[in-house]
């Protein structure tokens, strides 16, 4: 089945999309969601979507900014921009971006189904081609992984850093790097990157830094996504952690 990702800061809009479309009849499934472009960049490598619905108006990284990054890193990703009427002309001006289609919100089920039928046709044709990893002839061994780990440790503050950008920087395919990174370190790439960011955030918390500033400092300028990452990593919210370290 083709994998779909919904990127919209309105949870109600994501829920409506998931519930109103007969995904299985289109040989599709919704595999993930994100409430901002920043969150999408961080989780997209795990989701591995074939199709992404992207809201044009989101905080911290809007849909156009996300699309610029995504189309460069994931040339095969089919992107459908969702936009309100008063933003439609702005969206259409971005014709240089390889967007499959632009759709007005609120979304109409029949129109979405029609667009997805066209998308399925394109993906069916593409799937007939050979999708080999194009793995390098050289081996990505422990010394190379150490270099990549150091690169992550030196660049985790870049909010646009993720598996694909690092793989491209070192000349490997993302799937190959993902597999070798897990083999050599015992952790997947996102776990290691998040660990670097959260360890830094915990140190910043000791200085009584506000969460909004800390999230920016460690490369996650979306405070809601940062908050979820921190609580999962530390077992408590950022504010609870700060309070625990500053009680006498």
Q: Which residues of 134-169 are buried (b: 16+ CB within 10 A; e: fewer)?
A: eeeeeebeeebbeebbeebeebbeebbbbbbbbbee
29-40 average pLDDT score: 96
Instruction: Identify the pLDDT of residue 98.
Output: 86
- Quote the pTM value: 0.82
Q: Do residues 71 and 98 touch, judged by C-beta distance below 8 A?
A: yes
Please state, in angstroms and rounded to a whole number, the distance separating the CA atoms of residues 148 and 195: 15
Least confident residue range of 54-58, 72-76, 137-141: 137-141
What domains sit in the chain, N to C, each tagged with a CATH number?
Answer: 2-127 (3.40.50.2300), 142-245 (1.10.10.60)
Whether pLDDT at 88 is above 90: no
Residue 25 has pLDDT above 60, yes or no: yes
191-248: per-residue pLDDT in tens?
999 999 999 999 999 999 999 999 999 999 999 999 999 999 999 999 999 999 877 4
In the chain the first and final C-alpha atoms are separated, in Å, by 56
For the segment 56-74, the average pLDDT, to the nearest whole number, is: 91
> What pLDDT, in 10s, does the model give residues 120-138?
999 998 877 655 745 554 5
pLDDT for the residue 208: 93
Q: What is the mean pLDDT of residues 73-90?
A: 85
What pLDDT, on the 0 to 100 scale, is given for residue 121?
94
- Predicted confidence at residue 94, as pLDDT, reads 63
Extended beta strands in the chain, E state = 2-7, 28-34, 51-55, 78-83, 101-104
Encode burial over 87-98: b for 16+ CB neighbours within 10 A, e otherwise.
bbeebeeeeeee
Nearest to 199 by CA among 234, 160, 223: 234
pLDDT digits over 10-21, tens only?
A: 999 999 999 999
CA pair distance 105, 81, nearest whole angstrom: 10
Model confidence over 138-192: pLDDT tens digits? 567 778 899 999 999 999 999 999 999 999 999 888 889 999 999 999 999 999 9
Q: Identify the top-confidence range among 88-92, 111-115, 139-143.
A: 111-115
Q: Which one-letter DSSP state was computed for residue 139?
A: -
């Amino acid at each position: 089945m083709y994998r779909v990702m919904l990127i919209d800061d309105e949870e109600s809009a994501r829920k409506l999309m998931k519930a109103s479309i007969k995904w299985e009849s289109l040989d599709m499934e919704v595999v993930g969601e994100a409430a901002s472009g920043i969150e999408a960049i961080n989780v997209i490598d795990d989701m591995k979507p074939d199709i992404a619905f992207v809201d044009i108006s989101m905080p911290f990284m809007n849909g156009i900014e996300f699309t610029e990054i995504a189309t460069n890193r994931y040339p095969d990703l089919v992107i459908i921009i969702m936009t309100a009427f008063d933003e439609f002309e702005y969206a259409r001006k971005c014709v240089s971006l390889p967007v499959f289609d632009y759709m007005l919100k609120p979304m109409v089920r029949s129109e979405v189904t029609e667009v997805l039928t066209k998308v399925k046709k394109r993906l069916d044709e593409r799937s007939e081609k050979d999708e080999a990893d194009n793995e390098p002839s050289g081996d990505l061994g422990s010394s190379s992984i150490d270099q990549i780990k150091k690169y992550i440790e030196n660049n985790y503050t870049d909010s646009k850093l993720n598996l694909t950008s690092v793989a491209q920087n070192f000349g490997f395919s993302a799937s190959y790097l993902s597999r070798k990174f897990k083999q050599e370190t015992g952790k997947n790439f996102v776990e290691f990157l998040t660990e670097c960011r959260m360890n830094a955030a915990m140190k910043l918390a000791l200085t009584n830094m506000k969460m909004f500033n800390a999230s920016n400092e460690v490369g996650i300028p979306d405070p809601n996504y940062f908050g979820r990452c921190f609580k999962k990593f530390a077992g408590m919210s950022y504010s609870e952690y700060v309070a625990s370290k500053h009680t006498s």
